[in-house]
Amino acid sequence: VNYVHYWSSSFFDYKEVAKDLFEEKSMYLWSPHLYSGVPFLGNPETFFISLPLLLIFLLKSNTILAINLTLIISFFLSGLGMYLLLFEFKRSHKAALVAALVFMFNNAVFGFGLMGNISIIVPLSLMAFVFLFMHKAFYEKSFIVYATIASLIAAFQIHTGGMIIFLYTFILIALYAAFSLIGKDLKNRIIKITLIMLIFVIFTV
């Protein structure tokens, strides 16, 4: 297996640095080392406020161990989130467990996560939680609280370098919001869901 993210994201590219120093006579204004904690937010896949960065601090810059622990924690978080989400819909422990296992072992986890791509697996592990709280916002009374919680988790998706996963999450929520308009009392549904989506967008930003 080509563990490209362990290699390219964990260490300085010394040849590139040397080239800039000796050939271009210049030096970076930020570190090209993605795990250094320097927020280069121009790259949407560079994490800033995130679990792996916290682990790197706690583990005294042991980047590889931090990546591995992040993958393990995110793996189980993805299962927990999907379990809670489906249980909210179905109220069946067996169905929720099956959904959790399917989500935990999906191709994105194995295709990206096991290569050390935490910019995919970390925000993916939060997707079900965002959807869960937005569902509660659409159908329960304390919609402001639930929408705010969902937006904060979505913002955390972005800060973990998961802009792509966030976009997928937002599209799913928008489609679910449109689906939630079906039913009686259309006018009040439109007002409530519009307000929820505004809260979600504003607090996420």
State pTM to two decimals: 0.81
Closest CA to 131 of 91, 93, 166, 95: 166
Rounded Cα distance, 71 and 89, in Å: 27
The residue to which tokens 């930003």 are assigned = 205
Q: Is the pLDDT of residue 25 over 90?
A: no
User: Exposed, middle or buried, 115 (CB in 10 Å: 0-12/13-18/19+)?
Assistant: middle
Mean per-residue pLDDT for 53-57? Answer: 74
Rounded to 5°, the CA angle 71-148-119 comes to 25
Closest CA to 200 of 133, 147, 158: 147
The residue to which tokens 């869960």 are assigned = 132
The residue to which tokens 């996963």 are assigned = 165
Mean pLDDT of the chain: 82
Q: Which CA distances in Å does 84 have to 94, 97, 101, 115? A: 12, 9, 12, 27
pLDDT digits (tens, 9 = 90+) for 125-161: 999 999 999 999 999 989 999 999 999 999 988 888 7
pLDDT digits (tens, 9 = 90+) for 165-191: 899 999 999 999 999 998 888 899 999
Rounded Cα distance, 2 and 21, in Å: 29
Mean per-residue pLDDT for 103-124? Answer: 79
Q: Is the pLDDT of residue 60 over 50?
A: yes
What is the amino acid identity at position 195? L
Mean per-residue pLDDT for 101-118? Answer: 78
Of 14-23, 108-117, 153-162, the range with the lowest mean pLDDT is 14-23
Q: Which CA distances in Å does 88 have to 58, 93, 99, 116, 132? A: 35, 10, 12, 31, 8
